[in-house]
Amino acid sequence: MTDFAAWMQACQSHMESVLAACLPPAHIAPQRLHEAMRYAVLGGGKRVRPLLAFAAGEVAGADPARVQHAAAAVELLHAYSLVHDDMPAMDDDALRRGKPTVHVEFDEATALLVGDALQSLAFEVLAAQPLADDPAVQLRMVHLLAQAAGSRGMAGGQAIDLASVGKPLDLAELEYMHIHKTGALIRASVLLGAHCGTADDDTLGALDHYAKCIGLAFQVVDDVLDAEASTATLGKTAGKDAANNKPTYVSLLGAARARELAQELRADAHAALDRLDDSAGRLRQLADFVVERVF
Amino acid sequence: MTDFAAWMQACQSHMESVLAACLPPAHIAPQRLHEAMRYAVLGGGKRVRPLLAFAAGEVAGADPARVQHAAAAVELLHAYSLVHDDMPAMDDDALRRGKPTVHVEFDEATALLVGDALQSLAFEVLAAQPLADDPAVQLRMVHLLAQAAGSRGMAGGQAIDLASVGKPLDLAELEYMHIHKTGALIRASVLLGAHCGTADDDTLGALDHYAKCIGLAFQVVDDVLDAEASTATLGKTAGKDAANNKPTYVSLLGAARARELAQELRADAHAALDRLDDSAGRLRQLADFVVERVF
């Protein structure tokens, strides 16, 4: 197994080309929309979701040439959600990945359409070519991704998040919100990667549990970073949660306990993979990577 | 063949139940989002796209129990596009189907999420159960609908529309815009209905040509209605195109020539169906229905 950092960098760099090829060229009409879609997706982001898809694909013996399309579909959905979340009607944020957000760099109408068109493109990419031996499995992948994106997944989590501003949430409610807002797409990344190969129900169950732990750990770590890191380090506006009076793991638990929780979730994620062999090595490393960002 | 008006009403009423069953119940969390999604979709609309899907399904001998899900997917996409188009960053409209628009009745953030979640739901519905004998055909349906919705389809047409406000478009540019903005989804309705059954390439080609004519006719008629009908009759704000200095078939051709063009497109639509048998009867009637709204 090559060094984790090298693997991660190779995946990230490869995903940049895959995404660039999925996105319509900026010289094709409507040019401004296509330019803005490329601006929103390319040249930034840790590509955590694609990394998870590739790592889960290794467990299922999936061809990376297939996984890359599933990974691109998830990343396009993630990118759309960032564009819409940053809009004035939502979080009203001006900075993302160290650059002006889409509605600032372009305009609000374009940002709205960029998000809309990126969501369509995600499903286009997921259905464009065979990603599983059985097309019925690929249809299940479409169904899974659509559910993860929708009102009982990511969009629903965002709705709960908006409704929670200024309201006291308890830990269970905060977890419920994050399981939808970020957890659903993290879970889809892992399961879609696995569906590109072959995995029995026990393995899928283990991956699902792993994904749930990682999704929450990711959010706990994000909350710690938002509270403690600088805007320059994050590439997005820091301290926003506190400024918006949004409940976070740090505001509910304090930073020290939040860090402990992230460690516990990492341990749970590793435990979920116990019954899997060395093919789960990348998933184990990713669990460490997600949590070690704050240590 | 039963009377057209009775068939249409039966389809519309049936689609209301199908859509109501596709949409998450309003008592399921997040309640406000689900309530707003149902508000946006139910209780209004001519359901032209589902009617086209059912009519095309008849040509292909498709089981209506399958077509209804394809029809619902297209209608959900259409409903999402209306919600986003009405938002302040886009057309900024307060009235739709005789009711306050979603961002007026709820709020902008909710309207944004309603549109996002309805798009996801469209793909969820399209992939939830077998709609074609061959799952590979159903994957093609997903691909087709995603393309129709995206930056080279509906969302792209909307971008061209926004860019055209206050600019002189010629007839070819106006047609190009509408082929994307409304034509793409009309075409998808017809082709998805046919894919639920069996149609050879010649038949699909004929249906595709029919759909292109109908899509344009629909827009020409809409422009005439916008220019001539009252807000009360339309259930949406009338005279908006002129007020926004938007190019329309009426502003480019005058109302009399626009009506003639609608008649020509109806004749073209009928001609496209010439080689088909009586199974295309509903499609023929729909061509008449679309155009006769202004006569």
- Predicted confidence pLDDT, tens digits, chain A (295 residues): 679 999 999 999 999 999 999 999 999 999 999 999 999 999 888 999 999 999 999 999 999 999 999 999 999 999 999 999 999 999 999 999 889 999 999 999 999 999 999 999 999 999 999 999 999 999 999 999 999 999 999 999 999 998 887 788 889 889 999 999 999 999 999 999 999 999 999 999 999 999 999 999 999 999 999 888 766 666 667 667 666 677 899 999 999 999 999 999 999 999 999 999 999 999 999 999 999 886 6
Q: How far apart are CA A153 and CA B232, in angstroms?
A: 38
Report pLDDT for A68.
Answer: 98
Report pLDDT for B275.
Answer: 92
pLDDT digits 0-9 by tens, B166-176? 788 889 889 99
Interior CA angle at B107 toward B105 and B108, to 5°? Answer: 125
Q: How far is A210 from chain B (nearest CA, A)?
A: 24
Does B30 sit behind a cis peptide bond, omega within 30 degrees of 0 on the bond before it? Answer: yes
CB contact under 8 A, B37 and A151: yes
Report pLDDT for B294.
Answer: 65
Q: Is B218 helix (H, G, I), strand (E, B) or coil?
A: helix
Q: How far apart are CA B81 and CA B223, in angstroms?
A: 18
**Range in A115-119, A286-290, B225-229, B242-246 with the lowest mean pLDDT:** B242-246
* Residue A267 neighbours by CB under 8 Å, 6+ apart: none
Cβ-Cβ pairs closer than 8 A, A with B, add up to 165
**Percent composition of chain B: helix, strand, coil (DSSP 3-state, to 5):** 75, 0, 25
Report pLDDT for B231.
Answer: 63
Q: Which residue of A has its CA nearest to B164?
A: A30
Mean pLDDT of B202-226: 95
Q: Is B96 helix (H, G, I), strand (E, B) or coil?
A: strand
Q: Model-level pTM?
A: 0.95
Contact A113/B at CB under 8 A: yes
Report pLDDT for B213.
Answer: 97
Which of B124, B134, B145, B181 best tests the A interface by mutation, with the highest count of A CBs <10 A? B124
Residue of B109, B126, B146 with shortest CB distance to A124: B146
Domains of chain A by residue range: 4-292
Q: Bigger pLDDT: B243 or B264?
A: B264
Q: Bigger pLDDT: A240 or B120?
A: B120
* Residue A208 neighbours by CB under 8 Å, 6+ apart: A187, A190, A191
Mean pLDDT of B33-37: 98
ipTM over 0.85: yes
Report pLDDT for B56.
Answer: 98
Statement: residue B243 has pLDDT above 80? no
Please give the single-letter amino acid code of residue A165.
Answer: V
Which of A38, A85, A119, A165 best tests the B interface by mutation, with the highest count of B CBs <10 A? A119
Statement: residue B11 has pLDDT above 80? yes
Interface of B with A in 9-68 (CB under 8 A): 24, 28-30, 32-34, 37
Report pLDDT for A238.
Answer: 65
Q: Which residue of B has its CA nearest to A130?
A: B136
Q: Please identify, in words, the CATH class of the domain defined by B4-292.
A: mainly alpha
Contact B104/A at CB under 8 A: no
